[in-house]
Each structure stands twice: as structure tokens, then as C-alpha cells.
Amino acid sequence: MKKLILVTLLGLTSFCTITAQDVFNQVVKNAKTVLDDPKADDFMISVSQFKYTALQYLCNTAMKQNDGSVEGNFLDIQAYSLNHFIISYFSELAKAQNASNSTQKDIMKKYWRASTENPLFEDQDKETTDVFMDDPDCITPFSLNTDWEKADNAITEK
């Protein structure tokens, strides 16, 4: 529980000193730093692996669809929204730690639906886009093909 709160607080404060044009690069860098840290715990590694993979997928797919160019602002908004989405997810789960399994599953389903109902690209490669969703041990069971801004807004509005 303490680790979850610490991760949430670190994630919330990590954007305080970052300019808008640096958000995407900073989120990728932070995720990569955790992945390269031999002392990182399994929770941090899992979350960082998802963020890193999701942002790489986002950037690569956007570049393919836009002839090799993507606006930095687009990537920054997506990265910020992804980070906020993940923080909100674990924050809600932490608050519901003593709630029923049904309540916890409802939270998971709400976030899962927000991810799957807000695709960003018309990508038919479900084997790739759903790799985290198809892993029953994954703590971030979301689609890589997510418009993170829309998914985050869907969660915030509910």
C-alpha cells in the first residue's frame, strides 16, 4: 500500500517542473530509468513497462500514419493523459483496498472499458494492441491502441 501511494505521489509531482514540450520525453525517460534499475520492484517494473511500451507504440504508429512526422504537442498530451490515467487507476484501487472484490472489479472494468472504447488508430493487429489485456497477470490490462486523452476524460467525467 505504501509503495502504491509513493508511486502515485511521484507520478503526480513529476510534471511540476516539466514544460509542455518535454512531457512525452520525460515520461519515456522515467519509465526507462525504472526498467534499467536492477533494484526496482515488480510493481514499478510492470507499470513502467506498460508506459514505455504504450508510448513507443503511440509514437511509432503515429509516425507511420503521418509520413514520419508527429506534432510534439500531440505526443505530450497523450503522455500526460496516459500518466494521469494510470495514477487515477491505482489511486482508485488503493482507496477501494478494503472494499468488496466486486467493487474492485468494477473499478478495473471501468478503466478497461475507457481504454478499449477510445481507440486512437484503426489498428487491426490485436495481437500487438491487446498484449497487456491478454496477460492475466498484468496489473495494467489496457489496450496500447488507446487515445489516452479521451480515455482519461472518460474516467474523469464518470
Per the CB < 8 A criterion, the answer to whether 137 and 41 are in contact is no
More confident residue, 1 or 106: 106
| Mean of pLDDT values over 129-155 | 95
| pLDDT band of 2, cuts 50, 70, 90 | very low
Q: Give me the sign of the Cα torsion angle 140, 141, 146, 151.
A: negative
**pTM of the full predicted structure?**
0.83
| Mean of pLDDT values over 85-103 | 94
- Per mean pLDDT, which of 9-23, 69-83, 102-116 is the most reliable? 102-116
Polymer length of the chain: 158
Burial group, residue 55, by CB count within 10 angstroms (0-12, 13-18, 19+) = buried
| Mean of pLDDT values over 102-116 | 95
pLDDT value at 21 more than 80: no
pLDDT value at 3 more than 70: no
